[in-house]
Amino acid sequence: MMSTLVRFHIKNALRSRWLVAHFVLYLLMTEGLLLASGASDKTLLSLINVVLLLVPLVGLVFGTIHQYNGREFTELLLTQPVHRSVLFGSLLAGVALPLVASFGLGVFLPFAWHGGVTWDQGVRMATLIGLGSALTITSVAAAFMVSTGQTDRVRGIGMALGLWLTYAVLFDGAVLVLVTTFGHWPIEKALLGVMLFNPVDLSRLILLQVFDAAAMMGYTGAVFTRFFTSVTGYVIAAAALLIWMVLPILAARRRFLAQDF
């Protein structure tokens, strides 16, 4: 039953023009950067901030809209002998997996047909695609949590955009204000804890460490590398990012199971 529902929802998502546009966007962007820079390292480095901004935005918006558009069909399925947890898992996989695939292929294919990627560049590209995929799953789960709890479509989309704005833009501004206000106090260790509350910032720190781009890490990155070795920092950031993937899924699942459709 689960596999049948997943295949159905994936096929349904593949018919969406959003998904096609998502794939074409990354394909053209990566191809254009490769042609402009002529170097894989520069292209991957240029893709970091684009991926960290666009991937959560697309996951939140696409996931929210998809849930609202398929609400009547979801209600119909709930009248059938299908367990809610199975239906939730199929809905989540049916949205997240096509987004992950379109993003990964959009980034990978230009490198594949241009060739000339070294082992180190391949590791960096795999890290970029892996973290982008993790952010996709996290943002889709957050979108499901929003759309399940909020019946009003406009408010739900607004809440999804608010989440993206908070984590992608406002969080770094709040950290800067915190540092400016309390800079004369020893707040570095406190900032380490604050950084764990933003999956986008965690992904940026991991990527910039993998790319050895310390100059682009900003204040939070400098604090992170000051207190941890690279291996310890990777483990802590990766564990926190995994928690950020699991918690929204569990919260969305709990809300879906309790929701009175």
Per the domain annotation, does 43 fall within a domain? Answer: yes
Per the domain annotation, does 112 fall within a domain? Answer: yes
Per the domain annotation, does 23 fall within a domain? Answer: yes
Per the domain annotation, does 155 fall within a domain? Answer: yes
Per the domain annotation, does 205 fall within a domain? Answer: no
* Confidence at 150, pLDDT banded by 50, 70, 90: confident
Per the domain annotation, does 92 fall within a domain? Answer: yes
Phi, psi of 184 (to 5 degrees): -85, -5
Look at residue 135 in the predicted model and tell me its pLDDT.
Answer: 93
Q: How many CB atoms lie within 10 A of CB 234?
A: 16
Residue 117 has pLDDT above 70, yes or no: yes
Per the domain annotation, does 207 fall within a domain? Answer: no
Phi, psi of 196 (to 5 degrees): -70, -10
Look at residue 229 in the predicted model and tell me its pLDDT.
Answer: 58
Per the domain annotation, does 206 fall within a domain? Answer: no
Residue 217 has pLDDT above 60, yes or no: no
Residue numbers of the domain that contains 160: 2-168+245-258
Residue bearing the bigger pLDDT, 211 or 246: 246
- pTM score of the predicted model: 0.87
Number of domains comprising the chain:
1
**Distance from C-alpha of 60 to C-alpha of 137, rounded to nearest angstrom:** 10
